[in-house]
Amino acid sequence: METLLNRNFKVKGIIECSYIPSSGVYTEHLEGIEVQVWCKVPMQAILLGKAFTDSNGEYILEFEMDSPVSYIDDGKIKDVFIKTYYNGEEINPISLDNDAAAYFDELTPQPSLTFKVAVNDLVKQLKEQNSWQYLDRLWIFATEYQQHATISLKNPTTGTLTEISSPTWTTGLGYNGNGSSQYLDTNFAPATGGQYALNNASFGIYSRTNSNSGTPVDIGVYTGTYANSIQARTSNVLQPRINCASSGSIANTDSRGLFSVTRSSSTLFSAYKNGVLQADVSNTSTALATNKFFIMANCSNGTASNWSTRQYSLAFIGTGNIDQTKLYLVLQAFANTLGFNV
């Protein structure tokens, strides 16, 4: 004869409701939200109990269960989930992707719900298009707080960049330098950084400025006679190179948008603007740079040169497996959502 024991459970919580009109984000506590606690068991779900929020958004839910049962382990109920209803309609809360949540954990203070939803959608879309797994870094500079701009969305605990000589940062738009001393040190060296490889590599940068003066490097690293760099517009020419000694030379009269360069061959690389192939450049790969990528300048054997005054909203580094057209479409949709698009 099996002996059953009664177990009493209490669930306490608080529900905050955020509204996102065009004027901003507002948070309120609503009375009368129905909270249901359910348990997943084989072939069905069991309603364990329900309660309603008070005027402070708080609720307390108590229920009793017999034990032993398969879904109670060491006094804990497994596979529990919550449903919420208001005026008879189910409320669907945001389901945060684990990688998006890891990024938010590194941000101080926490961003708005608007930003979180946009980033969460971005991560999910990057995974759906099979780009996420091939990224080493993805920095979003067009953030709500400056500290957030230094954290990489991909690998957030190891991908922090360093601001050199206090470059200008503008809320919701990104960084720009003074053209003489300010830049960003990514702390990412191609030779030791991650998946980035000699014949399987890519990187890119999103510029919001159209300029044609000087010889600025938007993102770059140079070691000895081989380099990785993008010069979006110098004398109306786009000059990209990746893991090689010389650059391509492609006509370009606008330095705004997403510029990227990718290599998946030892004999040629490809240059893109806004996801559109600009040219395949015949050029043999030589070696991986041991110095670190700089943004708004070139890292020339460890020393900054070719500083830029353009404004940048995001940058990425990864492998040559990334489909640059699909990547641009997702990043541009993200830019449209947050308003830094060009």
Could you tell me which residue, 29 or 211, shows the higher pLDDT?
211
Residue 22 pLDDT: 47
Q: What is the pTM of this model?
A: 0.78
- Surface-to-core class of residue 79, CB atoms within 10 Å of its CB (0-12 exposed, 13-18 middle, 19+ buried): exposed
CA distances from 209 to 216, 235, 324, 331 (A): 12, 15, 21, 17
Residue 142 pLDDT: 98
Residue 1 pLDDT: 43
d(CA 154, CA 314): 12
Could you tell me which residue, 282 or 29, shows the higher pLDDT?
282
Which among 206, 202, 300 has a CA at the least distance from the CA of 242? 202
310, 207 contact by CB (below 8 A)? yes
Token representation of residue 152 = 């990489």
Domain residue spans of the chain = 6-91, 98-338
Residue 50 pLDDT: 93
Residues 6+ apart with CB under 8 A from 178: 165, 167, 168, 307, 309
Residue 17 pLDDT: 79
With H, G, I as helix, E, B as strand and everything else as coil, classify residue 136. strand
Could you tell me which residue, 46 or 154, shows the higher pLDDT?
154
pLDDT over threshold 90, residue 36: yes
CB atoms within 10 A of CB 62: 11
Tell me the per-residue pLDDT of 3-23, one tens digit each, with 9 for 90 and over: 556 778 888 988 887 765 544
Q: Which amino acid is at 71?
A: Y
CATH topology of domain 98-338: Jelly Rolls (2.60.120)
pLDDT over threshold 70, residue 165: yes
Residue 242 pLDDT: 97
Residue 19 pLDDT: 62
Tell me the per-residue pLDDT of 242-281, one tens digit each, with 9 for 90 and over: 999 999 999 999 999 999 999 999 999 999 999 999 999 9
Tell me the per-residue pLDDT of 205-229, one tens digit each, with 9 for 90 and over: 999 999 999 999 999 999 888 899 9
- State the first-to-last Cα distance of the chain, in angstroms, to the nearest integer: 73
Beta bridge partners of 298: 220, 305
For the ranges 1-5, 190-194, 302-306, the maximum mean pLDDT occurs at 302-306
Average pLDDT, the chain: 91
Token representation of residue 104 = 């938010």
pLDDT over threshold 70, residue 103: yes
* Band of pLDDT at residue 41, cut at 50, 70 and 90: confident
CB atoms within 10 A of CB 230: 24
Indicate the Cα dihedral angle 108, 257, 184, 140, nearest 10°: 20
